[in-house]
Structure formats: C-alpha cells, structure tokens
Amino acid sequence: MLSNLKAQPADKILALMAAYREDPRPGKVDLGVGVYKNAGGLTPVMRAVKEAERRILAEQDSKSYVGLAGDPAYSNVMIELILGESVARERIAAVATPGGTGAVRQAFELIKLANPNAKVHVSNPTWPNHVSILKYVGLESVAYRYFDSESRGVDFAGMLEDLGKASEGDVVLLHGCCHNPTGANLNLTQWQQVVDLINEKNLVAMIDIAYQGFGDGLEEDAKAVRLVTSSVANALVAGSCSKNFGIYRERTGILMAISADAETSVVQQNLNYLNRQNFSFPPDHGARVVTTILSDPALRADWAAELEEVRLSMLGLREQLAEELREQSGSDRFGFIAQHRGMFSQIGTTPELVEKMRADSGIYMVSDSRMNIAGLNAQTVPILAKAIVDAGV
C-alpha cells in the first residue's frame, strides 16, 4: 500500500530555512519564516506567559480531558478579545483548535458540511495554506484581486469587481488585519463596502485573524472583524494565539461561528463533531495559559504592554527600512513599507530578483518577495536596503 504514495512537493518556506542554515556567509539575513524575532534573533517567551505557566504548574491537579470544544472559559476570553461586545454571545458557537491552522481547517470542514457546493473566494495572494487546505478538503477556491504590484497597496476596485461575481452561499475569506503575505490592509470605509456586498449577494464572511495586536493595536486590529461580524447574518472567525502570545509550539487557536439565535446549538454540535472526527479533544495547555492571562487584570496588562513593545519595534523597523531605501535609492517608491502593517510586506518584485538578492547578498525571502519584517534588526536593515537597490528592484 505505502508503495502507492507519491512524493509531495517540498514546502517552499521550509526549503528556504534549510538553505539559510547551510549558507556559511556571516552576513546572511533570514526574512522567510513567519515567526517573530527580537533584535537578538530570538523568539522570546513573554513575561505573562512565564508567570501563567508557573501558576498552572503549581495549581493544576489533573491532566484529564476538558471537552470536545475545549475549556468554555478559553472560548469566552477569546470571544471577548476578538469580538468584544459586537455580537450577542448566544449567537456564537466556538471550539478550541490546534492553532490557527486548525481553526481554518475546521472552518473549511464546516463549510463543506453545510454547503459542499460553496466556492471559497480568497485574496490573490493569500497565505498558501488557505488554498492548499481547500484543495485537500475538496472545496473550490476562487481568487479575487487584492494586491496591486505597482502601488503595493490594495487593488480595491479589482477586489470588488471580482467579489461581485460570487454566487449566493459562497464564502469570502478575508484577513482580519496584517494581511499575509502583503502587509496591505483595507481601511474601515473599504471594509464597510465589502460588508455591503456580502449582504447584497447573500455571501458568507470568513475571517482569518492571526496577528491581532501586531498592526495598529489590539483594539484597532479587531475593528474590521467586529464590523463584519456585527453586520452579517453568518460569519466564521478563525483566531490564533501563536503570534500575539508567542506560543507558537503550543498550537492554540479558536474557531467561532456566528449565526441566528435558533441555529447556534446545532452549529455547536457540528463544531464538536468535527473536532471529534479530526483530533477528538483539542490541546489545553496553551489555551489555559491564554485564559490565565486574559482573566487576570495584572497579567493581562503586562501581556498587552509587552505586545505593544513588539508592535512598536516592527513599526520602527518598517520606518527605518523605508528611510534607508529612500536614501540609498534616491526615491520614495518604497514608502509603502512604512504604511504596511504586521510581520510581512511584499515588495512586488520577481522571483528572479529575489534569487539574485539571495545569491549576491545572502538575503533569504520567499520567491513571491514576501519578507518577514520581524526578521530584521537595526544592523541588518541597511544590508537589506543595499541588496534591494543593488538588485534593481
């Protein structure tokens, strides 16, 4: 049987990481993997996480299963963090998942259960796993225009035109903030127009929010999600704690499904069922860490303060890089980098020039020119700027 298996294509980012490790050059710069790093190149454990884990270790008296949906307390604190008071609690069904990827997977599975003929409209470009998982679960994906490679902003007219072709019951997948891979976001006026289109055509909104707090702040980054979920009949929200709590390896995510009051119990039953089929009980440690932090005012304040430090450090790197490129190129054409938000920016160049930067300067970024801003520090910003200019980007 196993001899019938076919080799799978290598993951581009993992292959990039391997090539980076094997590169002996001392000045190499890793901008590929989507993990936050501080100025010393470390992905630190946040202070509040350490304290929450200390408390859990001292107080936890059982490792028994929690439940198919995870701990209800975790769902409640995450709903409050992401949705605030924008949606009545009785309209929300929720389950804990293994990371934000698990939440996305369960959302697609739920869509297939509810409407196997639904098409899922995804931005061009989007996080590669979106399209990969859709293909695996057997749902059709349709790309809509999003990134303008000339302005390095959002092609909003193209986006609306493409979404206008969606059929009733189709799903529109949106990035809640800090668009991955481009860093280019909609403004609230544009978000309202998307909401109007969703309602006009009876579409279903799905929002993937993996970077809350990395863009313009915890509350600001949630505004679009809250606008959408408070304005449509049905919505799915896939949330992740990997980035803003720094607990990547704990695989801590949540899927929320918003529906009419009478449907919520049935939706919850289906979410529980999907968890049971895919992994039974979701992991609890990361969820318990998050619940401990968000339920304690002092821990929550310390976590929010450290997260703000992370956000401001990335903004500072964006501004430094934009200024360095302005000086080295004698042009303002890279000003968009300071306007993008989150960990990533897509500089809008060709795979050939990306490879040239790797070969000539040891700059490692994904072939579509997505770079992880958090992979930089004050010393490597000038190196990157010089490589971009020298390559003729």
Close Cβ partners of 108 (under 8 Å, ≥ 6 residues apart): 120, 133, 134, 137, 139
191 catalytic? Reply is no
**CA end-to-end span of the chain:** 49
Contacts of 139 (CB under 8 A, 6+ apart): 108, 111, 112, 116, 118, 119, 120
Tell me whether residue 210 is one of the annotated catalytic residues: yes
Q: How far apart are CA 152 and CA 146, in angstroms?
A: 10
* Rounded Cα gap, residues 213 and 194, in angstroms: 23
SS3 42: coil
* Of 158, 224, 144, residue with least CA distance to 185: 224
Please tell me the distance from the alpha carbon of residue 344 to that of residue 369, in angstroms, as a whole number: 10
Active site residue 127: yes
- CA dist 99 and 298 (Å) reads 25
- Report d(CA 81, CA 262) in Å as an integer: 25
Is the sign of the CA dihedral 46, 50, 51, 55 positive or negative? positive
Task: Please tell me which residue in 210, 222, 224, 338 is annotated as part of the active site.
Answer: 210
Which residue among the candidates 221, 243, 322, 387 is catalytic per the annotation? 243
Question: 345 in helix, strand or coil?
Answer: strand
Nearest of 94, 308, 105, 332 to residue 213 by alpha carbon: 308
In the annotation, is 303 catalytic?
no
Cα–Cα distance, 37 to 175 (Å, whole number): 22
Segments of the chain assigned E as strands: 29-30, 92-98, 119-124, 140-145, 147-148, 153-154, 171-175, 204-209, 235-240, 252-258, 344-346, 363-364, 370-372
Q: Enter the DSSP assignment of 119.
A: E
Per annotation, catalytic residue among 69, 127, 184, 284 = 127
Q: At residue 167, what is the residue type?
A: S
| CA 94, chain centre distance (Å) | 18
Q: For residue 22, what are the contacts with CB-CB under 8 A and spacing of at least 6?
A: none
- Which residues are known to be catalytic? 127, 208, 210, 243
